[in-house]
Chains A and B, each alone.
Chain A
Amino acid sequence: MTTLLEVSGVSVTFDGFRAINNLSIQVAEPELRAVIGPNGAGKTTFMDIVTGKTRPDEGRVIWGEKNVSLLGLSESQIARAGIGRKFQKPTVFEAQTVRENLAMALKARRGPFDVLLYRRSKTATARIAELAEEIGLSDALARRAGELSHGQKQWLEIGMLLAQDPRLLLVDEPAAGMTPAEREHTTDILKRAAETRAVVVIEHDMEFIRRLGCKVTVLHEGSVLAEGSLDHVTQNQQVIDVYLGR
């Protein structure tokens, strides 16, 4: 296990509100990590910083073996470096079919001319079929993504994430709006993905996190409050006070 992502001493202020306060997190490869914490703890902002959406006021975000700083890269460069993200609210391209959504996400060259001259290959078609199978949307490939149910959209987005074949998956509330059976399936997908890559999951649902059975980081007021196994952090008095006890 080597460190893939190292966030150290990062702080962000929005209009005087300190959303992230001297935050330091390390993620290894492969690893499955859950991030929990009360509302406003900075979980989503943490993902925004890693993916380049938000620029921190101070601190470092270091990526990969070559220790590249992500702070100098654009969102698309970070994505191409191997960081994929699933948003809290499922954001798929609703006007397009499931197949088109997956094809767009599929790992391939991203330049305009590459895409213009792109030709569907058998391997790509097979990979899309395989992904659709995994996310339970094999029968829906030709349907518009906008017609899917909330849970199916969540899965489509997870499928798009896997299609990118990233080294680090940042997954924001993957199980929101899912039935218990769907949740179980989602945990399976994430656990399998974490066998070969780094997966960071933000979740509120403790049952879901228990099933993931991984190291947990508790955020509070923009910094790490506790870190360790789920049992370890749930026994931490501070965690109980700010998060669990309410």
Chain B
Amino acid sequence: MSTPEIAPRRRFLAENPSVLWFLGCLALFTLGVTVLSEGFGLALISTSMVKILGMTLCLCLIAVAMDVVWGYCGILSLGHFAFFGLGGYAIGMWLMYARTQGIVVESLSATPIPPTDIEIEKAIASQIFGVVGSNELPWLWGFAHSLTLQLMMVVLVPGLLALVFGWLAFRSRVTGVYLSILTQAMTLALSLYLFQNDTGLRGNNGLSGLQNIPGLDHVPQSALSLWFFWASALALGLGYLVFAWLVSGKFGSVIRAIRDNEARVRFLGYDVESYKLMIFTLTAVVSAIAGALYYPQAGIINPAEIAPIASIYLAVWVAIGGRGRLYGAVIGAAVVSLASSWFTGGGAPNINLGFYTINWTDWWLVLLGLGFVAVTLFFPRGIGGLFDMIVRKP
């Protein structure tokens, strides 16, 4: 048998012009925000707005991951925000520990006798856990002193959870709505667990002060916000590129086939479960990375962040944006999450009807619900589908 010659494969980007378009738009957006920001340029965009935009980019990244797992592979996971939250907690532990350590060491340096390591650790523990009535550092925080180790936790903890959960669920051939319910149960259980005070993650207080980066006290928030904004843009760009490559070619063909008829794919000899597990775990890890970039910008994380509703919103963003196309997920996440903070943050003026005043803080969810129904009925391909009318897919 002769070795098959490798055909000159047409370049991936040449075959997928939308990826280049997206990356171009993202780069322009990043540049524009930078120039207009307080930290570097014209100060037309406030620091808090830069943070909101940076956080939105992280939400876009998890939406892209959701689109791959749901829109391409057909697994309607309603639990991906659990991975997002775990990523946030993992990085938050280091941020909080290292910052408290800095404060403790400084305040103890005034004492005549230099404090021992054990004294410092005790002081850190009572600083962090005093709020839940404890002064012991839980075993969970064993790695919290090291940024490298906690960064590994960002990937490993959600990755392992997804791997074990996915393995159990897919091996038992749990599919469709049953799988969705199972993922909801997972994120609910995790959230309820974290709400308890004795779990070592400060219960409903969560982790706070995450916007202060240890060792970077001299850098103003206006600059820090930009750094995180750039990091988020880079993560979104890279994540988009990786996923776009993943869903192109034969691998993409197989996972779309699994979405449409997984039994048939089995009879072609593909082990459907391992494909699903791979996609589920990979998207969970990307969600966790998005979370690890999001929460230092948000400044605080608590168990309410991974309540079941968060993951449902994620599915709504992707549905509104248009699933089965990655830029659709980005559009959906950006439009809906920005609109949400505008409406609920008091940005939208209340409408006085004389007999009744529409207060958007209360009515935003109604509007979102109507929007969701309208998109489902009239634009089943979502906002992203509108692009198809302009550019015909090859």
Hey, which bits of chain A sit against chain B, CB under 8 A? 51, 53, 74-77, 79-80, 84-85, 87, 91, 93-96, 100, 103-105, 110-112, 115-116, 118-125, 160, 164
Contact = CB atoms under 8 A, between A and B. Distances in A.
Interface of B: 4-7, 9, 246, 249-251, 253-254, 256-257, 260-261, 263-264, 266-272, 274-275, 278
Contacts of B249: 118
A111 B271 CA distance: 7
B319 to A, nearest CB: 18
Contacts of A125: 7
Contacts of B263: 53, 75
B163 to A, nearest CB: 14
Contacts of B7: 119-122, 125
Interchain residue pairs A-B with the least CB separation, the first 10: A79-B269, A121-B4, A75-B266, A123-B4, A80-B269, A122-B5, A116-B251, A76-B271, A76-B266, A93-B257
A105 B257 contact: no
Contacts of B254: 104, 115
B306 to A, nearest CB: 28
Nearest to A121: B4
Contact of A124 (B4, B257, B264): B4
B377 to A, nearest CB: 21
Contacts of B261: 91, 93
A83 to B, nearest CB: 9
A51 B264 CA distance: 11
Given A119-B6, A122-B4, A96 B266 contact: no
A96 B257 contact: yes
Contact of B267 (A75, A103, A111, A122): A75
Given A93-B261, A118-B250, A112 B274 contact: yes
A125 B5 CA distance: 11
A15 to B, nearest CB: 20
A31 B274 CA distance: 35
9 contacts: A76-B269, A85-B267, A104-B257, A110-B268, A110-B271, A115-B270, A120-B7, A123-B5, A164-B268
B267 A51 contact: yes
Contacts of B257: 93, 96, 104
A93 B267 CA distance: 13
Contacts of A51: 267
Contacts of A85: 267
B35 to A, nearest CB: 39
Given A111-B271, A118-B249, 9 more contacts: A76-B267, A91-B264, A93-B260, A110-B270, A112-B274, A112-B278, A119-B7, A121-B6, A122-B5
Contacts of B250: 103-104, 115, 118
A122 to B, nearest CB: 5
Contact of A110 (B9, B246, B260, B269): B269
A6 B181 CA distance: 43
A85 B268 CA distance: 8
A207 to B, nearest CB: 29
A79 B266 contact: yes
Nearest to A84: B267
A93 B274 CA distance: 20
A74 B266 contact: yes
Contact of B256 (A93, A110, A118): A93
Given A93-B260, A121-B6, A124-B4, A116 B246 contact: yes
Contacts of B256: 93, 95-96
Contact of A119 (B9, B260, B274): B9
A51 B7 CA distance: 34
B269 A120 contact: no
A114 to B, nearest CB: 10
A80 B256 CA distance: 20
Nearest to A116: B251
Nearest to B269: A79
Contacts of B264: 87, 91, 93
A111 B1 CA distance: 22
Contacts of A116: 246, 251
A95 B7 CA distance: 26
Point out which of B4, B250, B271 has the most chain A C-beta atoms below 10 A from its C-beta. B250
